[in-house]
Structure 1
């Protein structure tokens, strides 16, 4: 059979239009962006998206029969249990519905406001996207308002937290300075105690020589001078530390362009510092022991001395006497420890020894207290308080909610508790850590025949701190939902919001 050229050309044109139509057909349940995934090959066939080894004619897409294991061949029907139906929702936000809910006779406005999932007509679903979009825009405006106000509130919290941290760092530096001064006081107090004990252990009877009496009087003068010098050193060290703080403040706050308040404050502090210089008192009186007195003490004047009543230590330099005293003490301790010598029974202390011990104990107590406080400040500075240290500013702040039967209270960085209408509170947990948008509280009061109570607090952005709800999903495990400006992020631009709508 012979076919004319015109007839063949007409058939070819018709076939081309069919292929073109097939390639341009819109697949129901697929977004515009994914339509290209459903274009057939030159033979008019198409392969399952996740199983390219399964090839189907294009006509078997949306034929209400599931051919692809991934459900990709039935995006517009309920044939595949794992399929997804795309709702365009023009004028609003697009949605994706499980294919099993397509043509089930129920209008799923929460996902498909345009009613496109009920295309078979079992039930008529009107397009409500306009009113949904208006409601959505209203909610988004409220959310944005909360984000803006919450972000501003968070900025204040961050600034407050930075101020707290700066104050703690300054306090830590001051404590380190005070500890150094206090440790110096301990060293001086211990040396003074050694000297007092040495003097006490080296005493002679009333038959002591005139030379020994004069030496003893001179020792007392040196002791007074040493004490005055020690007090003066303490005063000077304290004032040096204060001067360093003043100079540091001047260095930190000085503006070379003009004489600002920082400079004025520093200058005023320096003037007060100069005016507060304490009187030297009897410091020089004790220190200035005249050479004439020494000459008189050690002159070649003949003194009638009984060598039997003068102890040898009275003529040994102080440095050697301290060393000999230490060696004698160590030897006695060794002999007592090994049972070769009976332990010396305590005898009455002289007033100088007693006072020296009090000074040493007071210095050690002060140093220990300062170190304890320093360690506490160091732990506080090292603690985790969330991004930008923001939760540091909320430390000690408490919020609560009345659920009817119980009142639940949450204190940031501290604890959560539960209180009934009668009776005291029950601790649900102590603050443990912050991870992301959750705060964890552990080691609460132990449940009867159960675990220790604990709580997880889920946080989201809010203008103010507020508890939204409390539940107990498992025995003695509590779940809080709260809002707080600490979780607010910088708001998106108006352009992005308009694009979404």
Structure 2
């Protein structure tokens, strides 16, 4: 037992000596993992293998190697790097150009070695920074743990919502089936009622047209008889010809009621002819005579009013109304006056159409709801649906000029704080980048003036309360947001763990 303890003691002493030796020979600015490449007892070989130089050339403030590997602790090489040990805190690698620049980059002050200790800008703050970093790391770790617990709850809630949506889809599919049965029935009733309505109305209009046709024929026949009688009354010598003397003896042609029939009044009836046959009279003369009869009757009934004389030339020119415009005849066509039975048939057809439209609209509404639920079930809400409960939730963030609004899995908008129209900065598209489920892409927004459509990257950060913490436009028409949310708290970030090596 003592022999084993002695052997272990020897091994530990050798290891300690080796570590001490490595610490002694490790040149300034060299990380621990590369200490074995800098051996003072042998020449130094540049890492790129270009040349071999004496070890005394290492950190001699002159750059010999093209890859700057011979000057890890000076600023001689433009592309060199300096390793800050920062014992008690996190190690750091800085460009060689920042060595001895009068600014302390390493918390242990090792990068400003050329300064006199009393005049050095640095003091060792690694222990203090290390303690603060460990406190912050512990806080972040606790936040990740708490956020992960909330995330687990959100996953459970998302599973419940998914099950509810699936059950809702099943119920809606049954409702849709029942509604389709009703729609098919109402469609049949609508078609039957429409066919009856069409048949009845077609019959009604056909009878109406025939009746009107017969009435028109009877009217034409009556008018023809009246014209023949009027012609016979004017044709006093019964020679089937009307001449000016016969017109002059017919008092109705006295338009101005002055007791005589002037030549103009004769010409108006005679159509500027000397004689009129029966056909001539019936084509024009009879029409003009009827107007004079109507005018004469109107004048007698309204004797107290002043009536202007009929203008012969206007009557000849205005063939569209034949000079009776002043009579203010109503030319409107009355709507058909259906019988009570026909009105009942029309009303029944109208109600059947309304019932069908209502049933059809019901099916469209159900299908729209089904499609919306199915779409939400196919969205990528994360590997365990941890982001599902955020769907449709909206959050706002205001800076000096704008108010940004993020509606998760929907869209991103921006509006001026001092009033103005809202601008769409993008619509939900997909997850992008690595690690996955840390960056959301919203694109296809409104186009910029002479530019591309707007788009937004939303970066998700672990946090206990959902909130937008920043919004910016790093590139023209390209926006970025930082959004804290418990769903992003997967496992505590390894960077928050303080390694034993960093604490040495």
State whether TM-score is above 0.5.
yes
Alignment of 1:81-480 (within 5 A): 81-108=78-105, 112-121=106-115, 123-124=119-120, 125-186=122-183, 361-433=357-429, 434-435=431-432, 436-480=437-481
CA distance in 2, matches of 1:56, 1:76: 17
Query: Deviation at 1:413?
Result: 2.2
Query: Deviation at 1:359?
Result: 5.7
- CA RMSD, Structure 1 to Structure 2 (Å): 3.6
Query: Does 2:26 correspond to 1:30?
Result: no
CA distance in 2, matches of 1:421, 1:430: 19
**Alpha-carbon distance change, 473 to 491 in structure 1, aligned in 2, over 3 angstroms:** closer
CA contact (8 A) 1:426 1:445 kept: no
**Alpha-carbon distance change, 153 to 351 in structure 1, aligned in 2, over 3 angstroms:** same
Q: Secondary structure at the match of 1:478?
A: strand
Q: Secondary structure at the match of 2:384?
A: helix
Q: Secondary structure at the match of 2:67?
A: coil
Query: Deviation at 1:116?
Result: 0.9
CA contact (8 A) 2:426 2:454 kept: no
Deviations 1:425-476 (A, max 9, x none): 5133243233342223334444445444433222211111222222223334
Map of 2:483 onto structure 1: 482
CA distance in 1, matches of 2:193, 2:397: 66
When normalised by structure 1's length, the TM-score is 0.57
CA distance in 1, matches of 2:461, 2:419: 32
Query: Deviation at 1:119?
Result: 1.7
Query: Deviation at 1:477?
Result: 3.2
Q: Secondary structure at the match of 2:87?
A: coil
Q: Secondary structure at the match of 1:388?
A: coil
CA contact (8 A) 2:463 2:489 kept: yes
CA contact (8 A) 2:412 2:442 kept: yes
**Alpha-carbon distance change, 22 to 171 in structure 1, aligned in 2, over 3 angstroms:** closer
Unaligned runs of 5+ in 1: 1-20, 204-346
Map of 1:47 onto structure 2: 45
CA contact (8 A) 1:147 1:488 kept: yes
Query: Deviation at 1:73?
Result: 1.5
Query: Deviation at 1:180?
Result: 3.1
Deviations 1:4-29 (A, max 9, x none): xxxxxxxxxxxxxxxxx999832221
Unaligned runs of 5+ in 2: 1-20, 201-341
CA contact (8 A) 1:428 1:442 kept: no
CA contact (8 A) 1:175 1:374 kept: yes
CA contact (8 A) 2:461 2:485 kept: yes
CA distance in 1, matches of 2:140, 2:192: 76
CA distance in 1, matches of 2:126, 2:450: 54
CA distance in 2, matches of 1:155, 1:175: 30
Query: Deviation at 1:62?
Result: 1.8
Find 1:73's aligned residue among 67, 70, 73: 70
**Alpha-carbon distance change, 376 to 127 in structure 1, aligned in 2, over 3 angstroms:** same
CA contact (8 A) 1:90 1:114 kept: yes
**Alpha-carbon distance change, 173 to 113 in structure 1, aligned in 2, over 3 angstroms:** same
Deviations 1:408-434 (A, max 9, x none): 332222333333343255133243233
Map of 2:205 onto structure 1: none
